[in-house]
Structure 1
């Protein structure tokens, strides 16, 4: 049996934030902001001690740490860079996390129209990218290094089994075009069908169980074969695999893609701490595909409410296996399991206040100050 033990606590993360005006209308100006801070338009620039990158959707910027690190170092590095971004743009914009922009309509944004057009044109020809699954999704991507094949396979399979739980506790996209959706994680609803013409690419988010690296290599080869049939060879790269977890051989890491972006960096790091602590356990979960897909659907639809007792059990295991640093972050996970995912808190707040803009202002403040949003009086902290 492969035991999943993370190689080290040094992670890589990627954080996607929408650009907005004062009343949270999305602004498709990522190129203008990059030009402002860099002097010219490039798809990724070093700035404020971090890297600032474009995303496919032009109303989103991605923040990437300067290098992998432990949780505290990542949080400090990214928050410092974010503060510098606010200063450089003179606080003219509201930046917002979350798994989707809650108000965006598709006429309000477009896709990046500078370099890398060949890739986007291929995607558009195959799938039509003017849809929410392309132009309105924001993910927290977590890159976990592996040392060897055994570690890769063990961690991959454990993350696969944990995926429904992770999706439930991190759901943060309950609004679509200003309306409450029937799902707490609407991002994955769109994400899992945005390439439905070639279903092998996303495969309903849950990846296949691996016995070895060869299994994964064959999965990618099958995807590439389908792309070549559609004369889309340009997309035949490891990043085209869109399951909720993929292997990045070029970076020697596993990349988790299924998680909604949270409201602030501290919350993002708490999610990382939860995952890393669980990877140290010997926990064996039900991993049949039908069971995982059913749980994923329930977690997407209902969030924490779908599996609170199971999440409480996982949290207790995480606490026992966490490093001292991870234990500093885990209380936020405990609070989310108790109160509900960010999406559940947002829906309840909207029911109470009847308006969404005050809540979005609070969430933007949480990002700017790096303070988690709360269901308790005071809303943040």
Structure 2
């Protein structure tokens, strides 16, 4: 199995005000506005909002170390090219960004954005202020695809709890730990099958998946939005990318540094080697667990997470065991969202927290590590 990742970071000034300048950054590098460019060991790309830029490793890998090396080299190169002008920041949402300052990419692919906007209104959280860590896992044929798909869907609530890093919206704590998913799961509510409440149903065949897609495509065509009838339309927490022959996990909030991201790669990869896991598989139960994860982070699923960690450690490779302690720390201390919220309640100031988190990304050091 090979793994690939996608990492989304907000672009900020020195005081962590989000800057809608991804287009200007790309143009400064290559001399023109492009959606994606080669940038050393990574591809650098735009997102819907111009205050976010995406780093993608140029090649997938068999484990987290090679991916980490590629992405972190991209981060280091970015700061060599822009040593003081911009500050990158992880997290699932920018904590203080307001929608009036969220600017949509306006150089190409406008026809897709126009269709989305007409159907769903993209000028809202859930579209414009989201940053995800996406993990892409290869599969070897339909049998392997189905086994891995059905295992991953049962892991999503726990991964959501661990990765939650968006406790603040427009400068205030909301009480939820994963506000990105609160907004994201509603952003296409007019056609609910697109997102499926984050957790997809159990799958018995590829034909079943494609049939469900076609139902959505039919509705889109009826709404004069056939342009959106592509495999990437599916916005569930787990989708199939047939063109890449991989499963794409979309439910995770971006973390504070590349090493923390890779800890999730190690955790998922090791758990997928387990033939049995102490997790629910019933759809209603998974949806209820997801609600707990979104609202409480790790605090609501602590015994289950501890059990999963034990299973992961037993099945992990030597390389993966170098990363899993980050997950152990998240279980012990709380998700990044829980730690941010706790610190903000004590200090009543977010800028120092963001400065520390930005430094974590720049140094590739997990938050709270010595």
Q: TM-score interval w.r.t. the shorter chain? A: over 0.9
Q: Which residue of 2 aligns with 1:290?
A: 284
- Any unmatched runs of 5+ in structure 2? none
Residue 177 (structure 2) pairs with residue 184 (structure 1):
yes
Q: Distance in 1 between matches of 2:280 and 2:173?
A: 32
Shift in Å, 1:90? 2.6
2:192 to 199, 208, 230: 199
Distance in 1, Cα, partners of 2:258 & 2:65: 10
Please, which moves more after superposition, 223-232 or 265-274?
223-232
The equivalences for 1:305-344 within 5 A come to: 305-344=299-338
Aligned: 1:345 with 2:351? no
1:89, 1:208 → 2: CA distance? 44
The separation in 2 between residues aligned to 1:126 and 1:165, in whole angstroms, is 32
SS in 2 for 1:67: coil
Tell me the TM-score normalized by structure 1: 0.96
Distance 2:218 2:42 in 1: 37
* Corresponding residue of 1:113: 106
For the residues of structure 2 that align with 1:194 and 1:52, how far apart are their CA atoms? 26
Q: Which residue number corresponds to residue 45 of structure 1? A: 37
Whether 1:358 and 2:352 are equivalent positions in the alignment is yes
- Give the TM-score taking structure 2 as reference length: 0.98
Q: Deviations over 1:275-325 (max 9, x none)?
A: 000000012432111100100000000000001111000000000000111
For structure 1, the residue ranges without an aligned partner over 5 or more in a row are: 1-7, 375-379
User: What residue is the counterpart of 1:369 in the other structure?
Assistant: 363
1:338 deviates by: 0.4
Q: Which runs of 4+ in 1 moved over 2 A?
A: none
The reply on whether 1:219 has 2:212 as its aligned counterpart is: yes
Q: Residue deviations 1:83-110, cap 9 Å, x none? A: 1111112321111000000000001121
Supply the distance in 2 between the matched residues of 1:46 and 1:179 (Cα, whole angstroms). Answer: 37
Q: What is the SS of the residue equivalent to 2:198? A: coil
Instruction: Identify the residue that residue 4 of structure 1 maps to in structure 2.
Output: none
Post-superposition Cα deviations, 1:190-215, rounded to whole Å, max 9, x if no partner, equal 00000011111111111011011111
Once the two structures are superposed, the pairs formed by residues 52-63 of structure 1 within 5 Å of their partners are: 52-63=44-55
Q: Partners in 2 of 1:75 and 1:154 — Cα distance? A: 27
Q: Distance in 1 between matches of 2:44 and 2:280?
A: 39
Asked if structure 2 preserves the Cα contact closer than 8 Å seen for 1:223 and 1:241, the reply is no
Counterpart CA distance in 2 for 1:226 and 1:64 is 32
Q: CA deviation at 1:65?
A: 0.3
Q: Secondary structure at the match of 2:196?
A: coil
Deviations, residues 49-96 of structure 1 (Å, cap 9, x unaligned): 210000011100000001101211110111111111111123211110
What are the residue-to-residue correspondences of 1:226-265 with 2, within 5 Å? Answer: 226-265=219-258
SS at match of 1:337: helix
Is 1:162 the equivalent of 2:159? no
What is the alpha-carbon distance in structure 1 between the residues aligned to residue 40 and residue 168 of structure 2?
A: 32
CA RMSD of aligned residues (A): 0.8
